[in-house]
Structure formats: structure tokens, C-alpha cells
Structure 1
Amino acid sequence: MQRIHNVTQLADLDDDALARCYAYPRELAGPWLRANFVSSIDGAFAVDGVSKGLGTDADHRVFHVLRELAEVILVGAGTVRAENYGGAHPDPERRRAHFRHGIGGSADGAPPPIAVVTASARLDPAAKLFTDAETPPLIITTAHAEAERVDALRAAGARIVVAGEAAITATSLVRVLAEHGLHRVLCEGGPHLFGQLAEAGLVDELCLSTSPVLVGGAGGRISLSASGFDLPMARKQLVLAEDGTVLARWARR
């Protein structure tokens, strides 16, 4: 029987050890794009339209560690609206410690901004994204977005970046992050944004939590794109939780 390497029990890892399991590369010349998703055993990424129904204690623990390590949290506007996104609030001391150890975080302990990809800038300036954020969100939009919408988001505290005329390509999105010095990227969805980035060959890593449940239904999967693609990935790590949650980390070959 073949032995599976790099398998760890979650119960054996304290918070510092878990953070080291998910450390970003120390030397980065440009953005390293990590995606994080939770899915059911039968492949669903949401229950009743949101991912919260699939979350387990183990998945929540990794979710918070990944946010502690990231320099920016990238998400599509549809996911922001569906999940009622607020700002990130990781522990500042842990972010400073991660930075000192060279695995992520930030020198001043400030939370990573939520970077929202929206060609139309159709977001509610009264939403939690703006009212519940210690670090102003970064709105990545287009020149064709209505000026009134853009002005309202700017007035709500957002930083606005134009990344295209009428559409935002995966390449232009990553270029914007690089220009802002945001190299440790955590993409939290949704499937269309992740699929666009994966189809362009720009995904470096996928952290996938498999929740021990079957849900059925007609829901989509974590990656949706205009056409099929083949992006070989290598398994870097498996962490197993007592409740059956499987926490896998895959990196591009």
C-alpha cells in the first residue's frame, strides 16, 4: 500500500504550526495567488446560495489563518453581495508575528483590504464592506462604470482602481495587485472569478476544505469558466480534522 506523505492531524497543530503549514513563499517578485474554497463531498460550493452552510469548525479555523497571512483578500462583487461581506478583522499581533517570521501578515498588523472585482461598480455604499472595515476596501472596476456609482463608493471610503475599459481581464487584475505591492493574494471567490484566473493560468495555489456532507441539488462547482482548461496541480499537504473535514493544499506544478 502506498503511503500518503504530508498528512497531519489538525488536533496536533496549534495556531502557529497551522500558520506555518500555510506560509506564503518568502521571496516573491510578484503576486502569489492563493484561492480558498469549501465544498461538500459531492462538489457543491454553496447551500442556498452561500458557502456558510458548508463551513465546519476546522474550515473556519483555516479561513481565519489564511486571512491572517494575506496582504489582500480578492473577491468578486457577486460573492460580496451574496455573502454580505464585511471587512477582515484578524488579530494584529498575529499579523505582526507572521511578518517577522517571513510567512505573511503585515509589519503594522493592519488588516488586509478586501479587493472587489466589479466591472460596473454596482455595490451598496451602505453595505458592511464599507461600514465594517478597518482597512478601506479596494474597488477594481472599469472606465465604463457609472461615475455616480464610483463617486458614491469613493465617498464611502473605498479606494478606486480602473483596470480596463469595459471588462477586467485576469491579467489586468493581477497587474493592478502588483502595482499596489500586494503580492500575498487570497482569493475567496466566487467561482467565476476563480475560473477566470485559473483559465488564464494565474492560480498558484488552492486551499480546499471538503466538508463531510452530501447536499445534492443543482448547485455549481468552485470553478466556472468560458472554456475548459488543464492546469496540473500537485498535492502539498493534507490536514485531517476529527469531524471528517479534509483540508487540502494544492500548488501549481
Structure 2
Amino acid sequence: MRRLFPLPAPHVPARAAEEHPAHPAPGPAAAEAADREWTPDELADAYAYPAADDPVRAGRTGWLRANMVSSLDGAAHHDGRSQPLSGAADMRIFGVLRGLADAVVVGAETVRQEGYRPARARAVFAARRAAAGQAPAPAIAVVSAGLELDLTLPLFTEPLTPTLVLTGTGAPPDRVRAVREAGAQVLFAGEGTGVDPARVTAVLAERGHTRLLTEGGPSLLGQFAAAGALDELCLSLAPFVAAGDAQRIAGGPALPVPERFALVSVLEEAGFLFTRYRRS
């Protein structure tokens, strides 16, 4: 893996520059530009959430980051699943982003299609999470209107951190009761049967979950984008052409005016580009 953007300014020790002006000692720029496998800690530093007092967080109760993968021709999945577009480096970054998050927000259909399991605790992130006051593993927060969920899945029967289910106050009472009896926590983030995407960040922040990660699917990401709730997009561009009629990474109605995001960083490995954009 190597960093393509931004490259830090080369560091040239004063003494080395004096003794070997034509061959300065390699600095951080050379280390990050070199093609090598980054450690989990290096990736975690590269993808760190903005601090609570960072100006980019002004007026926001939490920070909602999306992690998605796309083929070169814009497909968000192949045969209904994103895994065929992934790779080793993409999965490492996937794990790091989960290792940094308080909660992973995902749509019910994606839970069904991708066979979601509970997030696991990883020893490599244990000290970092403990220092940040986080649980050993992020909670999975499922967005569902009708609560037609398979409550026998490990996501509900074996979570290390209790699974959360986000729904509206108009959700079927019997399903709300069933979800709670299965051990999940039901949170209301909408007045009707569905979830108001603009309320998700605040509702989860009330539970102490301010570092949020959404992994889709496209419909949910489109709702967050349309509501102005998306703060950051981590997009893996896979070196594949998929063709077909697969959905883009974000679906739903078009925004009245396309919203501009600013490029934060670009990493590359084995032809994959790992981009990170923030709301401008």
C-alpha cells in the first residue's frame, strides 16, 4: 500500500542535509509513498475520526462516515453482494473502520443480503478502544421500518455488544416486542413507520455512539445523503468492470443540487484506490 494523496513534506534532518546535500535522508514522505503493507495502527491513524473539538465537527452531535466499494463502471455489487468487488486491502480497511467505530449502521436488506454477523473484538484495537472509552466491539445498528428481521441470526443471538434496531414510532408493536425479547435494543428515530435519516446521528449520540460508520446498502446511503446527514465517504474503487444493471453506491431520489465533498486522502494497493472524502 502507498499513499498517493496527500504526501507529507519531505523531512530532511539538518545535519544530514549538510553532510549529504544531494542525498538527503528519507523521511515520512518516502515511507508513506513506498509500496508496503501498512500496519493496523498506521491505517487507524490514517482513518481517525475528527476530534470532538475539530472545527469540521462544529454543530454536529456525531460523525457519520460511509464505507462503500464500487467497480470501475459504478457497480456497488455483483450478484447482489459487494464481496466479489473486494480484495485483501479492502478487507483490511473494512476491519480498521469497524475497529474505530462506536456503531455500524446498516439497512435491513443489506443484513439479509450480506448475511451480517455481530462485529467482533480485535486484540489489535483493544487498547485504542479502551483509551477512547469504547466497548470492545462496535454495536451493529439495523435500520428497519417493518422489523421483519430473522431474530435467530447470530447478529441477534450472539452479539458481543447488544445489537440496536432503529425504527419509527409507528412500527408494529408486536414486532417491537419480539425484537426486544430477542435481546436487541429498539431505538425510535422517526415519527411514522420508517426512520428519519436526519435523526439517526442524534439518536445514536444519545446512547454515546458518536463515531458512526454506515456500510449501506445503497438505499440507506442515498437517504443519508439526501438528508444532509453524511459527513464522510470512504470509497474503495475496485479495478474491475462488472457491467450489468447493479445499483450505484447511493440510490433514491436525486439531490436538488449535487453536494460537493472535499478529497482528504488516497491510498493505493494492487490497483485498488482507497479514497476518503469529507463534506466541504
- Normalised by the length of structure 2, the TM-score is 0.82
Map 1:1-253 → 2, pairs under 5 A: 5-6=5-6, 8=33, 11-27=36-52, 30-92=61-123, 94-98=125-129, 100=131, 106-107=132-133, 109-166=135-192, 167-228=194-255, 229-241=257-269, 243-253=270-280
Q: What is the alpha-carbon distance in structure 2 between the residues aligned to residue 61 and residue 33 of structure 1?
A: 20
The unaligned stretches of length 5 or more in structure 1 are 101-105
Q: Displaced runs of 4+ in structure 1, greater than 3 A?
A: 7-10
Q: Secondary structure at the match of 2:36?
A: helix
How many angstroms apart in 2 are the aligned matches of 1:165 and 1:205? 26
- Contact residue 74 and residue 114 of structure 1 kept, 8 A: yes
What's the offset of the Cα at 1:138? 0.5
CA deviation after TM superposition for structure 1 residue 227, in Å: 2.7
Output the amino acid matched with 2:85.
Answer: L
Contact 1:207–1:248 at 8 Å: present in 2 too?
yes
* Identity of matched residues, %: 40
Q: Which has the higher contact order (CA 8 A, sep 6+)?
A: 1
User: What is the distance in 2 between the residues matched to 1:250 and 1:23?
Assistant: 13
In structure 2, list runs of 5 or more residues that go unmatched: 8-32, 54-59
Aligned residue pairs, count: 244
Shift, 1:13, TM fit = 2.1
Shift of 1:12: 5.0
Note the C-alpha offset of 1:70: 0.3
3-state secondary structure, aligned to 1:11: coil
Per-residue deviation, 1:144 = 2.2
Alpha carbons 1:143, 1:165 under 8 Å: kept:
yes
| TM superposition score normalised by structure 1 | 0.90
